[in-house]
Amino acid sequence: MVTWDGILDRRGGIHYMFWGVFNGGLAMNVMIRTVKLLFLEVRPHFLLLSVVLSCLGTSMAWYDGYFNLCFFILAFVGLLLIHASCNVLNDYFDYRSGIDKETVRTPFSGGSGLLAEQALTPQSVYLLGVVCFGIASGIGLFFLTVRGLALLPILIVAGLSTYFYSTHIARLMLGEVFAGLNLGILPVLATYFVQTGSYSWGAFVGALPSGLLTYNLLLVNEFPDVGPDSSAGRRNMVIALGKRGASVLYLITTGLIYLCIILGVHFEVMPIGSLLGLLTMPIAWQAVRGALSAFDARNEEFLPVMGSNVAVVLVTQALIAVGYVLQRGLLG
């Protein structure tokens, strides 16, 4: 027998069931949006540099006769995570210092802007940076165990400079140097080391262009941020030399990049195939010429220089890596 009480109970149950589904859908949408924002916070397009660096170091090791796929994947993930941690923690500390609120954002510089827009909370961003840092540290500890303590100096420098970059290093006019180390020379040497278990002069010389390229990457990206960086107490080469002087420095370091490649081949510490890296010289000259002529231009007019510089940084290293692989293939 069906009673009115029974019908009302069923209706109430149906009501609460649909209300629960509705609330669950909202929660899922919020979670998806948060995950998407956290993904954007790591600035994934910037992580292409780490992809190129890990491939370059591994190609050097493969040229010397070493390759372990599992180690390559693990080192690749570790490098991506420490790079992501650097991006995220820089955003967090720049937000706390006030730089993030004044910085003019471009496709190539200025941070994610998600904290300034209050799309994410400072606590969630800091936690993301620490989690990425912690997982990367765990991978580093694994390689210390299986490959030896010779990797420890690289891990210490990378760890300390990742965490203290915005708060200390960038205020001591060492930002460009540590960028060249942490996202240039050291990742190439580290990925080479995890494959071979040792270092070599060939790997060091082959990593020098990477260091100079990343030095240039930060140098050029600092041009639009001179005002906010200076007011927040940062010190860098663009502030110290002025934009005109920094443009001349950019010319010099760009020349050194290609000189390193030529001398490395000449003294037979880099294979002839690495001369493929010279193919980016026309793009590099375009960037240098633009920097020398438009160093004091408005930010939007300086964007082509920044874009050409990014292309040089990524493509030059990719071509050098291809050169190592092709040379190894020719040698059998």
**pLDDT tens digits for range 237-250:** 999 999 999 999 99
Higher-scoring residue by pLDDT: 25, 290: 290
Neighbours of 153 (CB within 10 A): 10
Question: For residue 140, is it within any domain?
Answer: yes
Domain residues for 124?
A: 46-331
Whether pLDDT at 10 is above 90? no
Higher-scoring residue by pLDDT: 291, 1: 291
How many Å is the Cα radius of gyration of the chain?
24
User: What's the confidence (pLDDT) of residue 23?
Assistant: 58
Q: Read off the pLDDT of each residue in 59-88 and give the average, rounded to a whole number.
A: 97
**Whole-number average pLDDT of the chain:** 89
Q: Read off the pLDDT of each residue in 74-88 and give the average, rounded to a whole number.
A: 97
Question: For residue 1, is it within any domain?
Answer: no
pLDDT tens digits for range 248-281: 999 999 999 999 999 999 999 999 999 999 999 9
163-172: Cβ within 8 A, 24+ apart = 163/89, 163/133, 165/86, 165/89, 165/90, 166/89, 166/90, 166/93, 166/94, 166/97, 167/93, 170/229, 170/234, 170/235, 170/236, 171/233, 171/234, 171/235, 172/235
Give percent of the chain with pLDDT exceeding 90: 69
pLDDT tens digits for range 304-328: 999 999 999 999 999 999 999 999 8
pLDDT tens digits for range 207-217: 999 999 999 99
Whether pLDDT at 20 is above 70? no
Residue 142 sits in a domain of what CATH number? 1.10.600
Question: For residue 30, is it within any domain?
Answer: no
Q: Read off the pLDDT of each residue in 151-162 and give the average, rounded to a whole number.
A: 96
HEC assignment per residue over the chain = CCCHHHHHHHHHHHHHHHHHHHHHHHHHHHHHHHHHHHHHHCCHHHHHHHHHHHHHHHHHHHHCCCCCHHHHHHHHHHHHHHHHHHHHHHHHHHHHHCHHHHCCCCCCCCCCCCCCCCCCCHHHHHHHHHHHHHHHHHHHHHHHHHHCHHHHHHHHHHHHHHHHCCCCHHHCCCHHHHHHHHHHHHHHHHHHHHHHCCCCHHHHHHHHHHHHHHHHHHHHHCHHHHHHHHHCCCCCHHHHHHHHHHHHHHHHHHHHHHHHHHHHHHCCCCCHHHHHHHHHHHHHHHHHHHHHHHCCCCHHHHHHHHHHHHHHHHHHHHHHHHHHHHHHHHHC
Higher-scoring residue by pLDDT: 56, 36: 56
Question: For residue 23, is it within any domain?
Answer: no
Q: Read off the pLDDT of each residue in 53-73 and give the average, rounded to a whole number.
A: 97
User: What's the confidence (pLDDT) of residue 6?
Assistant: 45
User: What's the confidence (pLDDT) of residue 1?
Assistant: 45
Rounded to whole angstroms, how far apart are CA atoms 148 and 198? Answer: 9
Whether pLDDT at 3 is above 50? no
Question: For residue 298, is it within any domain?
Answer: yes
User: What's the confidence (pLDDT) of residue 298?
Assistant: 74
Question: For residue 95, is it within any domain?
Answer: yes
Total number of domains constituting the chain = 1
Whether pLDDT at 75 is above 60? yes
User: What's the confidence (pLDDT) of residue 281?
Assistant: 98
Question: For residue 72, is it within any domain?
Answer: yes
Question: For residue 75, is it within any domain?
Answer: yes
Q: Read off the pLDDT of each residue in 285-297 and give the average, rounded to a whole number.
A: 89
Whether pLDDT at 170 is above 50? yes
pLDDT tens digits for range 94-126: 888 888 777 777 777 777 888 888 888 999 999
Whether pLDDT at 13 is above 70? no
